[in-house]
Structure 1
Amino acid sequence: MTMVSLIPQPQDYGLLTDLYQLTMAACYVGEDLDQRPASFELFVRRLPDGFSYLVAMGLEQALDYLTQFSFGPDQIAALQGTGLFAHVPDRFWQVLESARFSGSVWAVPEGTVMFANEPLLRIEAPLWQAQVVETYLLNTLNYQTLVATRSARLRDVAGPDATLLEFGTRRAFSPQASLWAARAAIAGGLNATSNVLAALQLGQRPAGTMAHALVMALTAIAQDEDVAFDTMLRYFPDTALLIDTYDAIAAAQRLSDRVTAGTLQVQGVRLDSGDLVSQSQEVRSLLPHATIVASGDLDEYEIARLLAEGAQIDAYGLGTKLVTGTPVNGVYKLVDIDGIPTMKNSTSKTTYPGRKQIFRTYEQDRWVHDRLALMDEEAQPGEVPLLQLVMDKGDRRLDAEPLGAIATRTAAAVQALPASLRDLDHPVMTSPILSTALQTLTQDTQDRARQVYTDQNSSVAD
C-alpha cells in the first residue's frame, strides 16, 4: 500500500483548492474569459455570536501562497488522471502550465480591527487566477482571524501584565492549523506558544509546564509525589509545577514548608482543575512569590469571572476554546468583472458592488466610525484609508512583519475602541457608513440586474 502524505507542499498549492474553482476556470478558458480582469473581495457578512469586531490576520501566509502559486507537470497529470476534465479545451492545460499569480492584492495590515462587510483583502487579477485562489485565501484568513480575535479579547480581559500562553496544538483542527493558530495567537496578543515547531519557526521561545503523566509515573514508582517535583526542578528549575494531580493544596503546603526551610525554590505552580478561585487564593498564601498558572478550558469569559471573584492568577494557559469555536465565516465575492460592477442579491446574502476602500475616522487616537466607499473616492478630512497595495502584478510590496509589531498594532486597535464595543456580555454592534457613491452604485447595479432578468423572462414567455 502506498503511503500518502497529506502535508501540503508549495508545489501543490495550485491543487489546494475546491474542485469547482478549477471547473469554473476551465469554463472561463473555454469561453475565452479567463484573462478578463476581475476583482474579488474577502469579507465577513456577520460576526460570530458575541463578537463586535474582528482582528484581521493571515495576510502573510496568503502572500506566501500567491508568490508560490503554480501547477507543475505532476499536478497537471494528476488532474488529467481524474477523468473529470476530459472535455475541457487543450488551452486549459496550457494556461495551467504557465500559471503564476500575476495580479494585485489590496489588504488591511494584520492586526487591524475590522467590522462586518468590510473587505479584509481584495484580489485584482485575471479572472481564472482570482477564482482558483479563493479557497486557500479563505482558509488562512478565516482561521487566523478567528484565533487572533479571540487572543485580542483574552488580552483585553486579562490585562497587559498577565502572561497568556497558547496551549491549543492538540485541539487545533490539523497540524497545519496548529502552526497558524500559534502565529495568530502571538500576533493577537498572547506571550508564547507551547508548540515547539511553531515557536522556533517564528523566532520565538516555546513555553510550557509539565503534565500529569510525569507526576503519576514517578509517584507510582517512588510512592512519593514530591519525587516528581524534585525531578522536574532538577532538570528544569524555572518550570511551573503541576500540583493538582492528587491534592493541590496539600502539595502546595509541602512545597511551602520546603521553601520556608530553605531547601527548595519554586518559581511557579499550575492549577488545571477544581475551584480555581479558592485554590489560587490558598496557594498564594502558601507560596506568595510563586507564579500561579491556571489552565483547563479557559476563555475570555471565564478569565473575567475569575478576576471578578478575586482569583490570584498570574498566567493562563489557553487551548481548546482559543483554537476552536464558532468560525469566522468569511466569504469571497466577485465585485467587478472587466469594469462591470457585480453583486450578489439573494435573500440575506446581498453584497456591495465595485472595488471598495474603507476610510476610518479617529479622534484623539480613539476610533469613531468607518466609511465604506468606492476605491476611487477621496478621503474626507480626518479619515485614514485602511486597504493598502501589498502585491502589484505578482510582486510583493510588503515585507514580512515581526509578530511583535503586529501584536502592538492589535493591542492599540482594540484599546482605541469604545468600551461598548469591547463589552463581553452585551457588546454594541456597529457597521460602516456607506458612501453616497456606493449606495448609488448598489441601486444602479440592482436595477440593471433586475432589468436583465425581466427581459430574459419576457423572452422566454414570448
Structure 2
Amino acid sequence: MEDQELTLAPADYSLLTDLYQLTMAACYVGEGLDQRRASFELFARRLPDGFGYLVAMGLAQALNYLENFRFSADQIEALKATGIFAHAPDRFWETLAGARFTGDVWAVPEGTVVFANEPLLRVEAPLWQAQLVETYLLNTINYQTMIATKSARMRDVAGDEAILLEFGTRRAFSPQASLWAARAAIAGGMNATSNVLAALRLNRQPSGTMAHALVMALTAVEGNEDEAFAAFHRYFPGAVLLIDTYDSLAAAQRLAEQVKTQDLDLRGVRLDSGDLVELSKQVRSLLPNISIVASGDLDEVEILRFKRAGAEINAYGIGTKLVTGVPVNGVYKLVEIDGIPVMKESSGKATRPGRKQIFRRVVDGQLHSERLGLLTDDPQGDDSLLHLVYKQGERLQEPEPLEAIAARTAASVATLPSSLRQIDRPDSFTPEITPALQELTEQTQRNIHRFYTEQNLK
C-alpha cells in the first residue's frame, strides 16, 4: 500500500538514495569489484555567486547515517519486488543483507572555512559502500553547508552585538530539514531558533515573538490594538510586540506613552514590513531604550544595506532567504580505486586524482597561505584540515557541542581577509597545488590519453 506519511527513521536511511547507486552496486558485485578499496571526495567545484568561502557543516548527520547503514529483510524484499534487479547476482542480496559501513572517513571539522575544489569529506571504503552513500552525504552536507555559510555571512555583517534569530521552519524544504537547518544556523552564527523541537533537541532556548493573527483577533474581539498587546503581556511579560499590523508609528507612540508612565514593561518591538530603515529610526526616537527586531525576507545583503543606511535595528529574524538560499553544488567523485588514482576529464568538470589533504597556515590570526596536496605530502608546519573521524566502521569521536562548532565558525571566518568576507563581489581564492598533486594529475592524464590512443589504434 502507498505510504501516506513518508516519514523518515534511521532504519530507512540506506534506501534514501538514488536508484543508480543501487544498480551500480549490483554491477560491482556481479563483476567482482564490490570489495575493491575506493576513495571518494566530496567538494564544491565552484562557490555560489557572490560567496568568497564556504563553512563546512553536516558532518554530524553524515556520521549518524553511516552508523545506521543497513538493509532490513523487508527492504530487500521491496527492492526485489520492483523487478528492476531481476538480473542482479544472488550475492548482491547477500551483500545488502549483511550491510554495515566498514570504511574510513576523513573530514574537515564542522565550522571550518573551505574553498572551491577542497574536499570537505573523503570516504575510503569497499567500492559498493562508498558508492551507495553518495546521495545521502551530498543531501546532508550541501544543504547544511549552505545554511551555515549564510549564517556566518550574516553574523559577519551584523556584528557581534546583533541578535540573529532563525525563523525558517515554515520555508525549509521538509520538516526534518528544518531541524538540521536550525542546527546549522546556530553553528554558523545565529543566536537561537524559533523551531521548538529543534531548540529542545539541541538543549537550547527557543526564541520567537508573535504573529499578526493574534493582534487582529484580539483587536477585533477586545476593541483595540493596545488591548491585544496588554493581553499578550499578561501571559508573557515584557515579550516583543509586533507593531506593524496597522500603523507602526502610531503603535510605537502609544507604547512610548505607556513606557513613560511605567504602565508597561516593554523589552522589544518587531517590524515586519515597510521601509525598515526609516521606520526603525522613527521608532528609536520614540522608544530609545527598547530593542528593535526586524524581519521579512532578510539576508546578509539586506542587513548590510540596513547597516550602511544607519538603521536602528538590534535583532534580525531570518527565514526564507536563509533556508532556501543559493545552493551549494557539492559533488562526490571517485579519486582512487585499489590504489590507482583516477580523475574525470569532462569539459568544465575535470577533477584531480588521489587522496588529498588541505594544508593551511594562519599567522597572527590571519590566513597566510593554503595548499591543496596529497595525503602523503609533507605538511611543512601547516595545519592539516582533514582529520580521520571514522575508522574501519567505527566512529572515533563523540559529537561536538554546538557551542564549540559555533566558536570554530567565528574563529575560522575571522582569519579571512576582508576581500573574501565582503558581501559585494568578494575576491575568489584558489589554494596552491602542491608539486606532488600536480605531477599525479599530469601522470593520470597521460595514462588516460594513452588508453584512448591504444583504443583508437585497435
TM-score with structure 1 setting the length = 0.98
- Residues 404-462 of structure 1, C-alpha deviation per residue, up to 9 Å, x if partnerless? 11000000111110011111112110111100010000000011011111111221xxx
Q: What code does the residue aligned with 1:458 have? A: L
Matches of 2:310 and 2:373, distance apart in 1 = 47
1:276 and 1:73, CA in 2 relative to 1: closer, same or farther beyond 3 A? same
Conserved? CA contact 2:39–2:337, under 8 Å: yes
1:393 aligns with 2:429: no
Matches of 1:139 and 1:301, distance apart in 2 = 26
**Equivalent residue for 1:313?**
313
**Equivalent residue for 2:106?**
106
**Equivalent residue for 1:192?**
192
| 1:212 Cα deviation from its structure 2 partner | 0.3
| 1:264 Cα deviation from its structure 2 partner | 1.2
Q: What code does the residue aligned with 1:262 have? A: Q
**Equivalent residue for 1:455?**
454
Matches of 2:316 and 2:364, distance apart in 1 = 33
Matches of 1:82 and 1:231, distance apart in 2 = 58
Q: What code does the residue aligned with 1:247 have? A: D
**1:293-442 matched pairs, under 5 angstroms:** 293-381=293-381, 383-442=382-441
Identity %: 66
1:218 aligns with 2:218: yes
More off after superposition, 312-321 vs 363-372:
363-372
More off after superposition, 25-34 vs 282-291:
282-291
Structure 1's unaligned 5+ residue stretches are none
Conserved? CA contact 2:238–2:265, under 8 Å: no
| 1:278 Cα deviation from its structure 2 partner | 1.4
SS of structure 2 residue aligned to 1:71? coil
SS of structure 2 residue aligned to 1:351? coil
SS of structure 1 residue aligned to 2:170? coil
Structure 2's unaligned 5+ residue stretches are none
**Equivalent residue for 1:258?**
258
Q: What code does the residue aligned with 2:448 have? A: A
Matches of 1:43 and 1:168, distance apart in 2 = 26
SS of structure 2 residue aligned to 1:369? strand
1:322 and 1:438, CA in 2 relative to 1: closer, same or farther beyond 3 A? same
**Equivalent residue for 2:171?**
171
Two-structure CA RMSD over aligned residues (Å)? 0.9
Matches of 2:133 and 2:100, distance apart in 1 = 11
More off after superposition, 139-148 vs 319-328:
319-328
SS of structure 2 residue aligned to 1:125? strand
SS of structure 2 residue aligned to 1:93? helix
Q: What code does the residue aligned with 1:125 have? A: A
1:271 aligns with 2:275: no
Q: What code does the residue aligned with 1:206 have? A: P
SS of structure 2 residue aligned to 1:250? helix
Conserved? CA contact 2:345–2:351, under 8 Å: yes
Matches of 1:458 and 1:204, distance apart in 2 = 66
More off after superposition, 225-234 vs 17-26:
225-234
- Residues 74-133 of structure 1, C-alpha deviation per residue, up to 9 Å, x if partnerless? 111111111100000000000000000000000000000000000000000000000000
| 1:4 Cα deviation from its structure 2 partner | 2.4
| 1:3 Cα deviation from its structure 2 partner | 4.5
| 1:2 Cα deviation from its structure 2 partner | 5.2
Matches of 1:215 and 1:325, distance apart in 2 = 30
Matches of 2:2 and 2:438, distance apart in 1 = 57
SS of structure 2 residue aligned to 1:170? helix
SS of structure 2 residue aligned to 1:328? coil
More off after superposition, 285-294 vs 124-133:
285-294
TM-score with structure 2 setting the length = 0.99
Matches of 1:435 and 1:237, distance apart in 2 = 61
Matches of 1:57 and 1:3, distance apart in 2 = 31
1:446 aligns with 2:448: no
Matches of 1:4 and 1:68, distance apart in 2 = 24
**Equivalent residue for 2:115?**
115
Task: Give the total of aligned pairs.
Answer: 458
